[in-house]
A and B are shown apart, each in its own frame.
Chain A
Amino acid sequence: MIYLDNAATTRPKPPGVVEAMTDAMMSWGNCGRGAHAQALASARAVFSVREQVARLFHAKRADHVCFTPNSTLALNIAINGLLGPEDHVISTDREHNSVLRPLYRLHQQGMGLDFVQANRQGQLQYEEFEHLLRPNTKAVVCTHASNLTGDLTDIGWIGTFCRAHGLLLILDASQTAGVFPIDMEAQQIDVVCFTGHKSLLGPQGTGGLCIREGVEIRPFAVGGTGVQSYLETQPADYPARLEAGTLNSHGLAGLGAALDFLETTGMDLIRSHEMALARRFYQAVHQIPGITVYGDFTTEWRAPVVALNIGTYDSGTVADELAERFGIAVRPGAHCAPRMHRALGTEEQGAVRFSWSWANTEAETDQAAEAIRILATEV
């Protein structure tokens, strides 16, 4: 089996992840609940992961890293905790439903909402940001990379734009954290929302928000924190403010091991490997008659994703052929990116998305390209 659906979740996880989770489950108590050795072991390890995440995003404070089960919940917390009906928000056509649906819900409650449109090639026109500004614009919420095409958003440009106009920048780093540099200071990002199970190479059920000091997010859920128990409201201090209930410390043990792997191996090496494989695949397939590849391949600086279609074939049929005949796992359909599919004109057909990670090989990539060549000749 050739797994090329790493934009959905990376597989396999690097060495040490499973072992760390097993050790945690066999030995740890509850993080922040008690002062015995087992509880402290968990609390120390979870804090260490906060420090790793803060280092990764160049955040000043580890205690401003708040954990959630995934980036969808992190985005819900950031969006609902910072924005309200009186505000106006700018987003983009590249967004995943994890950004879109929280924004749409607030829009239904009265919040102003505009999108920087993607053109037929999926590219954003950055001058549109300026045109969409309103007096009550409070934030830009955007993804770092399209989960459909892999095209990167220029967050440095957007960060500068946000600072110039006094806006918050909430970044969805689901597809890029751990592979592409994210610097909250240099790129002027206020909140980075991340998931552990994609490019960070950790387990599902991990994710969170990394928050710039001074950004005050209203808590989404309230409840047990292990501290200030007689207070009737959620404690005001991060991370407890956004972490009601028992943390997934077992999952975070795995995320910590994955971050160890990323730090030891090096983000640049992993990114180069993944990008080289995606480029190799693109070079092999983009000129095959009947193949349409989406996104901007004039730049090397893009997430390791190639989305394509064969003629007018249903993307689901193509993905099924790839799985059943060639043992290749990819993702067809809409990829939770409805605005991007509308922009690309693929709303009906969907697209077949190939995505790479650290463990993929050139041989696998070549087999996938050959499978596409065979299927294209059969249309």
Chain B
Amino acid sequence: MRQKEVRCVVTFRTTAAAMEMERLCKESGLPGRLIPIPRTISAGCGLCWSAPSEAEGALEDLVMAQHLMIDGIYAVLL
């Protein structure tokens, strides 16, 4: 298994919201990718956006500016 590091994880309540996040991050040049939601955050299945922890501020700005429908932003050891 790869070495774990703290990542910034954004969770969503729908797949559609995850898709919108991915598209806007790509358009804005923000790092990260969609991964299965870690069980430390939620036992439900679904997608989340995983990015380097230093991107947290930029991601929060994007979420606020675009009114993205997110569930939460977490720092998670992945």
Contacts and interface: CB of A to CB of B under 8 A. Distances in A.
Nearest to B17: A63
Closest A-B pairs by Cβ, 3 of them: A47-B19, A32-B15, A227-B46
A226 B16 contact: no
Contacts of A113: none
A228 B44 contact: yes
Residue of A35, A43, A237, A238 ringed by the most chain B CB atoms within 10 A: A35
Contact of B14 (A34, A44, A240): A240
Interface residues of A, number: 26
Nearest to B18: A43
B43 A230 contact: yes
Interface in A11-43: 31-35, 40, 43
A50 B16 contact: yes
Nearest to A47: B19
Contacts of A238: 14, 16
Nearest to B46: A227
10 contacts: A43-B19, A43-B47, A44-B19, A47-B16, A62-B16, A63-B16, A226-B45, A238-B16, A240-B13, A240-B14
Nearest to A65: B16
Contacts of B16: 47, 50, 62-63, 238-240
Given A35-B34, A35-B36, A228 B20 contact: no
Nearest to A240: B14
Given A35-B35, A44-B22, A62-B20, A229 B45 contact: yes
Contact of A230 (B17, B23, B44): B44
Interface of B: 12-20, 22-23, 34-36, 42-47, 69
Contacts of A226: 15, 45-46
B15 A31 contact: yes
Contacts of A62: 16, 20
Contacts of B42: 228
Interface in A233-262: 235-240
Given A46-B19, A227-B46, A228-B13, 4 more contacts: A32-B15, A43-B18, A63-B16, A63-B69
B39 to A, nearest CB: 11
A43 B46 CA distance: 12
Contacts of B13: 227-228, 235-237, 240
B47 A35 contact: yes
Nearest to B68: A63
